[in-house]
Structure 1
Amino acid sequence: MTVSLRLNNDVESSALLDLARAAESAGFDQLWVSNDLMIRSAPVLLGALATATSRIELGIGIANPYTVHPAEIAMMAATMQELSGGRFRLGLAAGAAEFLGWVGISQPTPLTTTREAFRAIKALLDGGRPVDVPGTGSGWAEEAYLRVPPVPTPISIGAMSPKMVAFAAQEADGVLALLFPPEHFTVVREQVETAAAEVGRDLADFDLPACVWLSVDDDQEVADRALAHKLAYYGSAFSPYLLTRAGLSRGDFAGIDASLRAGDPEGAADQVTPAMLRLGISGDPDAVVSRCLSLIESGVEHLSFGPPLGADPVAAVELIGETVLPRLTGVTV
């Protein structure tokens, strides 16, 4: 069983270092940092984390080819591999159209753009030239290659739509599919298996984490409140496809969005319903273990816990390490 931790780049730098050290001590295998627009730079944060840790793998989740050119993404990945001693993992995706709109960037052809970027980045990291690889788009010249030694790097695709999941299954090393609700894992796994079979691909080394939002605390209400704030901020940006699977729609978040626009985050959190809370996992350690075990029974081999984690993230990571992971990592299906 692989266990990973996902953190947002809204965490203060010094606090992120504390969380990384706590995650490594708690026994997590991987640590991923988001790169949401207009907050902190994930590549800079990961550079600091690479020097503050020694064992845990480090990933960016995600880089996107709309705000950063694939050549620079490859440069960043190669440098991170060098700095971390080969512990870096790259997450690549199209990004959220709503957030890209904040900076005046449109998102036409997200699947095509992501596929072309992936192929170019992979070629560069493997020591090749994008110009020699079909499906990398136009504009690459013979001179476009990295002037550093080849650094093959695991690349996972951030995906929510079935088509993006299928692309990841056929070409990438893994897929980062946010699961709202967590039980959506079985659907994603089926999509991955079907797409891989179409091209005759063996998925033995394919990384398919169950990426869930987690909030844990000895007090159920405290855990739920932390998750409610997270859902209030991001809920309306979720894919309609995923919300529908949970019996929800973007319209259900209209009142929440209005409260946020009015500068009332507490009022927004008050409107998060029990059905919305089921989009993630929250509760005391026993409740968290129970829901995670049901995921493992459905075939999950990699559990990936994302924020809010809890009211006190460092304490939550330590609590997970002490009371949750020991009851999960030895489980076999």
Structure 2
Amino acid sequence: MTDATAPTWGIELTPEHPPERIASLAGLAEDEGFDVAFTSCHYFNRDPFVTLSRMAEATDELRLGPGVVNPYESHPVTLAGRVATIDEVSDGRAVFGVGAGDRSSLSNLGIERERPLRRVLETFDVARDLWDGETVSHDGTFTAEDASLNLEPTEIPIYVGAQGPHMLRMSAKHADGVLINASHPRDLEWSAEQIEQGLAERPDDHGEFESLAFASVSVAAEADAAREAARPPVAFIVGGAAEPVLERHDIDREAATAVSDALERGDLTEAFGHVTPAMIDAFCIAGTTETLADRFEAALEHVDGIVVGSPLGPDLEDAVERASEALALATDG
């Protein structure tokens, strides 16, 4: 896609498979017309930055970055250096997807997610200064003293992973873009309202801002297979969903509680079994290529582009191709 006015096509590649497999998927995504690939960042999967380096080798134009990495497991200065390294090995194609992280995953590591909005903002503010070649001292939600990077100065776009109103507004005011953790037009419309409030306070020198739906997607030739593959991510979304989100979609609270309780016990099979059709409809774009095209078209009324997120589908290579076809159907008109 070369049209600057066309919606951005993004994809999330989860390194639950070896880096070579993810690199191959990145090459396929580039061939299929995607603009940017984000690699999810969870301690229980492969290292995202090793994976991104392989993805850089396998691609020529695809923009690449963590999506999203949290600034708790690694020091923000260290993260800035890692992202700048990806920018170097990819010849300037890096993006920095940063967010507060998953509270439950962080708690597994004994990490408390303190002051998340402030932590994220300070992280990318410091990163920008480091990428400008500055020596940085910082005393806030984290501390750095006379820190600098032994890398050439660079500019890297910053995308904030956001779902709540305060993070959405902060991203619009300060970042280059936002990755909205939502799949349903109802949630995206509400998010767009929050973003508009942030944009009203955005300094003129911050440049353009891009809003992307970071949507859970599952696609296959058969709708039932796609929806079945959607159960695991939907369960985790429901387990972390705030009450207003559940209310917005009239989700059965008893079923939602059953999902959450099973996740807390570590009984994933039971949690996935409690996922209802209404939950899949609310929190994932799941079905055939044609279903995706319709849902993508509805989503694009509220955002500048779509990141096709996990699980993609029961067959990853097939899903990349089908998602590309669905995006083309949604945007060509």
TM-score by length of 1: 0.89
Structure 1 counterpart of 2:24, from 10, 18, 27: 18
Q: Helix, strand or coil: the match of 1:212? A: strand
Do 2:10 and 2:306's aligned partners in 1 also have CA atoms closer than 8 Å?
yes
Structure 1 residue 201, shift from structure 2 partner: 4.4
Do 2:292 and 2:323's aligned partners in 1 also have CA atoms closer than 8 Å?
no
Partner of 1:286: 290
Q: Is the deviation greater in 199-208 or in 168-177?
A: 199-208
Partner of 2:4: none
Partner of 2:3: none
Do 1:196 and 1:202's aligned partners in 2 also have CA atoms closer than 8 Å?
no
> In the aligned structure 1, how far is the partner of 2:233 from the partner of 2:114?
28
Structure 1 residue 62, shift from structure 2 partner: 1.6
Structure 1 counterpart of 2:330, from 312, 328, 331: 328
Do 1:161 and 1:241's aligned partners in 2 also have CA atoms closer than 8 Å?
no
| CA RMSD in angstroms, aligned pairs only | 2.3
Q: Is the deviation greater in 6-15 or in 301-310?
A: 6-15
Letter in 2 for 1:309: L
Letter in 2 for 1:72: T
> In the aligned structure 2, how far is the partner of 1:137 from the partner of 1:108?
8
Partner of 1:56: 62
Q: Is the deviation greater in 4-13 or in 166-175?
A: 4-13
TM-superposition CA deviations, 1:121-162 (whole Å, max 9, x none): 11111222333x8x8667433x31222221111011111111
Q: Is the deviation greater in 119-128 or in 5-14?
A: 5-14
Aligned residue runs from structure 1 range 121-132, under 5 A: 121-131=127-137
Name stretches of at least 5 consecutive residues in structure 1 with no aligned partner: none
Do 2:27 and 2:58's aligned partners in 1 also have CA atoms closer than 8 Å?
yes
TM-superposition CA deviations, 1:163-197 (whole Å, max 9, x none): 11111111111111101534311221121111121
TM-superposition CA deviations, 1:86-122 (whole Å, max 9, x none): 1110011121111110010111211122222121111
> In the aligned structure 2, how far is the partner of 1:287 from the partner of 1:235?
22
Q: Helix, strand or coil: the match of 2:147? A: coil
> In the aligned structure 2, how far is the partner of 1:167 from the partner of 1:324?
31
> In the aligned structure 2, how far is the partner of 1:238 from the partner of 1:303?
21
For the structure 1 residues 250 and 57, does the alpha-carbon distance in structure 2 shift closer, same or farther, using more than 3 Å as the test?
farther
> In the aligned structure 2, how far is the partner of 1:232 from the partner of 1:107?
22
Structure 1 residue 79, shift from structure 2 partner: 0.7
Structure 2 counterpart of 1:84, from 83, 90, 95: 90
Partner of 1:245: 248
Partner of 1:9: 15
Are 1:221 and 2:203 counterparts?
Answer: no
Do 1:13 and 1:45's aligned partners in 2 also have CA atoms closer than 8 Å?
yes
Are 1:168 and 2:174 counterparts?
Answer: no
Do 2:229 and 2:311's aligned partners in 1 also have CA atoms closer than 8 Å?
yes
> In the aligned structure 1, how far is the partner of 2:266 from the partner of 2:180?
31
Partner of 2:180: 177
> In the aligned structure 1, how far is the partner of 2:262 from the partner of 2:194?
37
Structure 1 residue 199, shift from structure 2 partner: 4.1
TM-score by length of 2: 0.89
Partner of 2:304: 301
> In the aligned structure 1, how far is the partner of 2:156 from the partner of 2:261?
42
